[in-house]
Amino acid sequence: MRADDQCPFCSEREDCLHLFISCPRARNFWAYLNLDVTSISNMEQLWHENPLQEPNQNIRTAILTCVLWNIWKSRNAKIFRSQDESNSQISARCRDDLLLWSHRSKTAF
């Protein structure tokens, strides 16, 4: 987070829930993925609500982790390089990460 706790995308107070779920930038990316997270009110709930509708917990965890990781990387691109990444850039990086992770996994996703 920045020293002033302001979100780099919308200037609201940045915390985990804001960064990953409630920030308009994050909401826009979730919507781009066609995933509804509007009912999520805390980070733990994200893991229980299953917005992916994926019954396999290992797959669900890998995908959610990947999405959160790439939202974080997008935030860092904004902070450290003043770059606004597009939804397609972020989703392409998610795809690449999941492909890489699937090759490292002993059991297939």
Residue 1 has pLDDT above 50, yes or no: no
Asked if the structure places residue 10 within a domain, the reply is no
Give per-residue pLDDT as tens, 55-104. Answer: 999 999 999 999 999 999 999 999 999 999 999 999 999 999 999 988 87
Q: How many structural domains are present in the chain?
A: 1
- State whether the Cα torsion 94-100-104-105 is positive or negative: positive
Beta-bridge partners for 13? 6
Report the pLDDT value the prediction gives residue 55, as an integer from 0 to 100: 94
Q: Give the domain range for residue 50.
A: 16-104
Asked if the structure places residue 2 within a domain, the reply is no
Asked if the structure places residue 5 within a domain, the reply is no
The counts of H helices and E strands in the chain are 5, 0
Asked if the structure places residue 8 within a domain, the reply is no
Give per-residue pLDDT as tens, 17-41. Answer: 999 999 999 999 999 999 999 999 9
